[in-house]
Amino acid sequence: MQASADKEIFELARSDDRVLVSADTDFGTLLALRRTAKPSVVIFRRTSGRRPEAQAKLLLDHLPDARESLEQGSVVIIEESRLRIRSLPIGE
């Protein structure tokens, strides 16, 4: 899906009830513009290093706290020392 357009990625994730995981902070803006409750998105911000193993560990460490919100429709922002959760749709 790396070569797919953002709109296609969002639509596939929504139709399959999946959660998008990205380090692309533009996904938060795109999600706000869509004004929908799904798909949920996890965004990595200001994490030291971009090693997949480190990001996977951060995700797994925070998943218990974010799981219910992700199931309901949220954007979850994971930083080194904090977790932020915002319900979707944004702007309502």
pLDDT in tens, the chain (92 residues): 566 788 888 999 999 999 999 888 887 788 878 888 999 999 998 765 678 888 888 899 999 999 999 999 999 999 888 899 999 998 76
Per-residue pLDDT, 3: 61
Query: So what's the pLDDT on residue 15?
Result: 94
Contact 42, 20 (CB under 8 A): yes
End-to-end CA distance of the chain: 30
Coil, strand, or helix at residue 7? helix
The per-residue pLDDT for 48 is 59
Question: Do 42 and 91 meet the contact criterion of CB atoms below 8 Å apart?
Answer: no
What's the pLDDT score for residue 74?
94
The amino acid that residue 57 corresponds to is K
pTM: 0.86
pLDDT value of position 34: 84
